[in-house]
Amino acid sequence: MPTTERLPDLSILTPHPHWSALSRRREGPCAHWTRGEAGTDTEVSHFRFIVGTGKPGNLAGVRHIILVLSGKGGVGKSTISTELALALRHAGKKVGILDVDLCGPSIPRMLRAQGRAVHQCDSGWVPVFVDQEQSISLMSVGFLLESPDEAVVWRGPKKNALIKQFVSDVAWGQLDYLVVDTPPGTSDEHMAAVEALRPYSPLGALVVTTPQAVSVGDVRRELTFCRKTGLQVVGVVENMSGFVCPHCAECTNVFSRGGGEALARLAGVPFLGSVPLDPELTRSLEEGRDFIRDFPKSPAFPALSSIAQKVLSKAPARLS
C-alpha cells in the first residue's frame, strides 16, 4: 500500500482522476499529491488528491447560502444562478458561486472564466474572481479539468467526496451570498450538498422550472425533496415564460404559460417571477458578458432584478 503524509488539521483522501492538471496548478503549503500503485484498473484511478485543511471556518464568513435546484435539465438553472449572482452583486452584495453540477459545469463559460487556474492557500482552495472588484468569486469542477471537452466519468461516492471538499475546502472569505448551482434532479449529489451545507443554515432553495407540464411535474418532486430534507423553499422561478417581440413588444407564450406560478400557489411556496426568452440574455451568456450591467432595457432585465430583490427581502435581519 502506498503511504501518504497526513497534514495536521484534516486530510481528505479521495481518488482523483485529474491529478496531472491539479499537480501543475498547485501552490502553497496546504496541498499534497501522491500517486498510488498501478493495479488492474487504469493507472489514473489510483491517483490521490489530499487537501490538508478542511477547516469548518471556510464558510463562517458567508451570511446566506442559496441552493438553485431544478427538476430536470435544460430549464436554465445555471442561467438563473449566474444572473441572480450578477443582480445581487449590482445590489452591492459580495457574492460567491459554487458550481456543483459536476457533469455539466457551464458557469465558468457564462462568466468568461474558463481556463482559469485554481490555487491553494493556507485555508484551502482559492476561488476564481471573475471581476476586477473581486465581488464575485466562483468555484467549479470546470477549473480542475485538463480540457473543456473532458467528461467527468465518476461514480456517486467520488462525486459526493468532491462536493464535500468544495464545501469544506474553498476559502470564500467574507460573502453576503453564496449561490450553489446544483445538478438537475434529486440524486445523492443533492443529498451530499444539503448535508454538507446544513451546519451553515442555508437560507433555502430557489427552484427553477419552465411553463410546460412535464417540467412542472418534475418540480413537484423537487419540492418534495426540499420538504423531506428540511430545506426551505425561497421560491419558484419560471424561466422561458414567453417571447417578447423586439418590434411590437407583444409576448408570445412559446411553451404554454403560468405553470410555475400555479405550482407555487398549489404548493404554498412563494412565486418569485417569470423570466421571458430573451436573445440578449442568450448572447450575454455566450459571450460571458454582464447582462445586468449591459442590457438594462432588455425584456428579461426587470424580471431578473425583481427576483434578486425578492431574494434580498427574505432575510433582512441576517444582513446586519
73's grid cell: 435539465
The pLDDT of residue 314: 86
What type of residue is 249? Answer: A
Q: What's the first-to-final CA gap in the chain, in angstroms?
A: 52
Residue 73 annotated as part of some ligand binding site: yes
Residue 71 annotated as part of some ligand binding site: yes
* Band (1; pLDDT cuts 50, 70, 90): very low
Residue 94 annotated as part of some ligand binding site: no
HEC readout, the chain? CCCCCCCCCCCEEEECCCHHHHHHHCCCCCEEEEECCCCCCCHHHHEEEEECCCCHHHHCCEEEEEEEEECCCCCCHHHHHHHHHHHHHHCCCCEEEEECCCCCCCHHHHCCCCCCCCEEECCEEECEECCCCCCEEEEEHHHHCCCCCCCCCCCHHHHHHHHHHHHHHECCCCEEEEEEECCCCCCHHHHHHHHHHHHHCCCEEEEEECCCHHHHHHHHHHHHHHHHHCCCEEEEEEEEEEEECCCCCCEECCCCCCHHHHHHHHHCCCEEEEEEECHHHHHHHHHCCCHHHHCCCCCHHHHHHHHHHHHHCCCHHHHC
Residue 256 annotated as part of some ligand binding site: no
Residue 74 annotated as part of some ligand binding site: yes
Contact 209, 236 (CB under 8 A): yes
Per-residue b or e along 72-84, where b marks 16 or more CB atoms closer than 10 Å to that residue's CB: beebbbbbbbbbb
Higher pLDDT, 32 or 85: 85
pLDDT tens-digit readout, 129-156: 998 888 999 999 989 887 777 777 778 8
Structural domains in the chain plus CATH codes:
12-51 (no CATH), 58-313 (3.40.50.300)
pLDDT tens-digit readout, 266-296: 899 999 999 999 999 999 999 999 999 999 9
pTM equals 0.80
pLDDT tens-digit readout, 179-192: 999 998 888 889 99
Contact 14, 45 (CB under 8 A): no
Residue 78 annotated as part of some ligand binding site: yes
Instruction: Evaluate if residue 165 carries a pLDDT over 50.
Output: yes
Residue 75 annotated as part of some ligand binding site: yes
* Band (28; pLDDT cuts 50, 70, 90): very low
